[in-house]
Structure 1
């Protein structure tokens, strides 16, 4: 990573997390770190912070959202060190060893045990919390955990 790397805020008006993820994953070269941020101004959308040496510009009307993303203290990480090694079923300990994730939590239950298996579904989106990258999980069948955020979540009331 170059000493000229810095966090840049980008706002292109992405309406969904999936749209923002797609834009991030299409960057070439891939950034070391890229996060999404939900912003409300000038309209609800997803802004992005990215560690980059290259300037990425936002339209003037979205500059305040880009600035908010660049200076935000939280974010949902799409690209982060080790993300490419978080595929398949891994133990909590393996996730912590293979990536920059600092902690794996069970929603409402605190830190997960190091030997507990996480079925990643090849889709891991940790959140920055208090300066640490934290993967929030939920219990699944067979004593396993799954990431709280799923690639293709079931819509609320899908069976109604």
Structure 2
């Protein structure tokens, strides 16, 4: 099942913090993603002002199932903080309509694995230190290691993960984008600029 939340978060640092807090309300979560939500537009069928929300980041969490208590905690938090909440099973949509639309998009991308940046994923704890592309695929469950700008990546290419990897979903596969670095190694394209309060979760 998929749980998606849109709080209108401005960037990935805040979105990862939200992910971490939501994971504290859930058990058995396997995957957590952040999703880029385009700027909203006025909804001619609604009396609410939808134009004020710019591009922002929502989150989705995948887990086998949710207990009644977990759903109750999520609903309570959404009510308290005026969040957009979408739960796939049971089907629940709650919150301001413009945030619910963002949560719907995050839910669809997470369910289809068509887009989204992975904050938690199976095998993540193995994606540390220096690993070859083959080892990242075999140990960390990353489907593809891809070099940006045509940078070649072979099975024995060494990736210095710097203990921070954020693969992305693309066409149902998890893809880690890498770039050249000093010393003849590759490093993740997204470097760790997150605040330590979130990067260590």
Aligned length: 148
Greater Rg over alpha carbons, structure: 2
Q: 2:57 pairs with 40, 46, 50, which one?
A: 46
Q: Whose strand fraction is larger, Structure 1's or Structure 2's?
A: 1
Runs (5+) with no aligned partner, structure 2: 41-52, 85-94, 195-201
Q: Secondary structure at the match of 2:119?
A: strand
Q: Whose helix fraction is larger, Structure 1's or Structure 2's?
A: 2
TM-score by length of 1: 0.84
Provide the rounded CA distance (Å) in 1 between the counterparts of 2:152 and 2:169: 15
Ranges of 4+ aligned residues in structure 1 off by more than 6 Å: none
> After superposition, what is the alpha-carbon deviation per residue over 1:10-50, rounded to whole angstroms, capped at 9, x for unaligned?
11222110111122234234721011111123432110111
Provide the rounded CA distance (Å) in 1 between the counterparts of 2:141 and 2:20: 18
Q: 2:156 pairs with 115, 118, 131, which one?
A: 115
Partner of 2:91: none
Q: Secondary structure at the match of 1:108?
A: helix
Alignment check: 8 A CA contact 1:21 1:78 kept:
yes
Provide the rounded CA distance (Å) in 2 between the counterparts of 1:66 and 1:15: 14
Runs (5+) with no aligned partner, structure 1: 1-5, 154-160
TM-score by length of 2: 0.68
Q: 2:143 pairs with 102, 111, 115, which one?
A: 102
1:66 is the counterpart of 2:103: yes
Q: Which sits farther off after the overlay, 57-66 or 139-148? A: 57-66
1:35 is the counterpart of 2:33: yes
| 1:124 Cα deviation after fit | 0.3
Q: Secondary structure at the match of 1:81?
A: coil
Q: Which sits farther off after the overlay, 101-110 or 139-148? A: 101-110
